[in-house]
Amino acid sequence: MNRVIACISRPRGPVASARSAFACPLSMGLGLCAAVLSACGGGDTSGVGGSTTTTTSMSTGGSGGTGGDTGGTTTSAPACKPTGGGPYWLAETEDLSFQVSCLTGEPLKGEDFELTGLPLGAAYDPATSTVSFTPGLNQAAVYEITLLAKPTGEQGVVKVGVADKWDDPANIPVLDPLSYGEEYGLPVLFLSPVPATKDYTPATVIYRGHTYTVEAKQHGAASLNYPKKSYTLEFPKDDKFNDPDEAGGFKDKRRIILLTTFDDNSFVRQRLGYDMWNKVDPANVPIQTYAAVVYLDNQYVGLYDIADQINGYMMEDFGYLQDGNLYKSINHDANFTLISSQNGGIPKDTPHQGYVKVEGTPLDGEPGAYDDIDELVTFVATSDSPTFLAGIDDRINRPEYENWWYLITFMMGDDSAAKNNYHYHDPTDPMGKFHVLPWDLSWSFGETWLTMRQEPEQSREYWENELFNRFVHEPSIGDPLRARYNSVLHGAWSKDKLLAMIDGYTARIDKSAKRDEARWTAEYQAYPGWSSRMDFTTYEGEIAYLKDWVSKRWDYQDAKY
């Protein structure tokens, strides 16, 4: 079989078209055929001039082309698809080499490719079709090298990401944060200046080539003492934070949190918890998180979770009133009883003791600020069984509160059974119900907030929260509650799905997690809150521990429910 290349010259004047044909064997390849075509159509065409077009047809005859043209012009598949592989990720001073070729297998020579966008110091050797590059300590950036296959005119791009070598004594900080949008495949966020308090101050964020003017502050309570802190960022309403490629679309955010991973050397516990919340019921208001690398004042800090900050803006995104009442439970007195857990069982001063109002009117401290949550707590704490059953679904979105119970009983979130959650209510809606969103899942999946170990084969139903106590012990609620737990374990939270989620996280963060580990291990193990531990693990060891814990916990809960 021969490939027939037809060169057609279309003269500008009233002269008949001249047609010539060249038959080349298939072994010649499209690239060489194209070169021959250029020769037959690109030179003198009997003085008539004009444009040249190319058609390709197939002949079934022998080398003499006796089979003839089988019928007209066809559109060929890409002849080359130039490629160099990648993307490639390396640190400054590391060596990189890759070969340029045709993805289709077309045998073009090295000189048939033209490369543009090579970083300073990178070289292309046409004799071997090889690019070589050893970046210096001032070349941290993401580069895109364009490959042109000259015989076919096709282009391809090779991405090369050079990571800042923060631990080299001679290191030069990233020169251009705008060109440093990724590090080992994870997005990079630059924040400057570093917030020094829990009060908002002006700051600048650079993220994926975009510069934001923001307000920033420190975030958290216990984590304020960590050397690697958390931060809250607030973005202007006309320039909201966006990353459509992360977390299924992390879009139009007014506030986000840079959530430290200092207390979790698996780097994935909180993400696992929030993703379990998102997956257990599509009707839950989702809490989106994803992994990113953070630089503060242009200095490497390490691996963080970028997460939603629960607030009225977020609730508005899901169809609720922005100015609704939002309460944060700040200690274990947020237990839906009138008795204080924090103070040895004495009566509370108010039903809402344990909560703080963070948004909504009347404001905290004003008369009536807590009326709606006071009524809810009093109702749960004092109503008899018939009254409770008749009225609870008018007051709360019960499936959400049941999902909260599922989450904390599975992950053994002892610090989240009362505190560490948000309750939202729209007081302007006569039919409005309370909604719940979990927050701060650092005590989870076999680790306390002080990183101590917890065995997975333990019962947790959290009756100290009176709402959960009533759920479990009212047969008309508790029986379906337990039955749905079994469905969840064999559906959204099947063991295979949970372990696959962890594997998916680690596949993406692996390089970055090891860089963070190198940066923070000494300070992590020396931190006063847990320095007495004798069972510290590496990042890889902690992932193995986490997967084993989740597997055993799933077995235990499956047997129970």
Q: Give pLDDT tens digits for 322-376.
A: 999 999 999 999 999 999 999 989 999 999 999 999 999 999 999 999 999 999 9
Q: Which residues pair with 241 in a beta bridge?
A: 253
* pTM attached to this predicted model: 0.86
Judgement on whether residues 102 and 183 belong to the same structural domain of the protein: no
Judgement on whether residues 137 and 283 belong to the same structural domain of the protein: no
Domain range enclosing 32: 2-59
Length of the chain, in residues:
561
User: Which one-letter amino acid corresponds to residue 445?
Assistant: F
Closest to 529 (Cα-Cα) out of 262, 305, 231, 271: 262
Classify residue 561: in a domain, yes or no.
no
Judgement on whether residues 284 and 367 belong to the same structural domain of the protein: no
> At which of 163, 187, 211 does a domain end?
163
Judgement on whether residues 302 and 264 belong to the same structural domain of the protein: yes
For the chain, percent of residues with pLDDT exceeding 70: 86
Classify residue 389: in a domain, yes or no.
yes
Q: 35 versus 124: which is more confidently predicted?
A: 124
Q: What is the average pLDDT value for the chain, to the nearest integer?
A: 89
How remote is the C-alpha of 100 from its chain's centroid? 31
Alpha-carbon distances of 542 from 107, 334, 367, 451, 546, rounded to whole Å: 48, 32, 49, 11, 6
Classify residue 375: in a domain, yes or no.
yes
Judgement on whether residues 122 and 220 belong to the same structural domain of the protein: no
Q: What are phi and psi of 473, to 5 degrees?
A: -100, -5
Band (73; pLDDT cuts 50, 70, 90): very low
What whole-number distance in Å separates Cα of residue 155 and Cα of residue 532? 58
Judgement on whether residues 440 and 475 belong to the same structural domain of the protein: yes
Cis peptide before 438 (omega within 30 of 0): no
Judgement on whether residues 333 and 441 belong to the same structural domain of the protein: yes
Classify residue 91: in a domain, yes or no.
yes
Per-residue pLDDT, averaged over 16-37, amounts to 41
Q: Does pLDDT of 2 surpass 60? A: no
Judgement on whether residues 364 and 425 belong to the same structural domain of the protein: yes
**Number of domains present in the structure of the chain:** 4
Classify residue 48: in a domain, yes or no.
yes
Determine the pLDDT at residue 177: 98
Residue 193: strand, helix, or coil:
coil
Judgement on whether residues 258 and 407 belong to the same structural domain of the protein: no
Judgement on whether residues 266 and 293 belong to the same structural domain of the protein: yes
DSSP-assigned states of every residue in 255-269:
EEEEEE-TT-TTS-H
Read off the tokens for 359.
Answer: 């948004």
Name the DSSP class of 16. Answer: P
Band (252; pLDDT cuts 50, 70, 90): very high
Judgement on whether residues 206 and 154 belong to the same structural domain of the protein: no
Classify residue 502: in a domain, yes or no.
no
Judgement on whether residues 369 and 452 belong to the same structural domain of the protein: yes
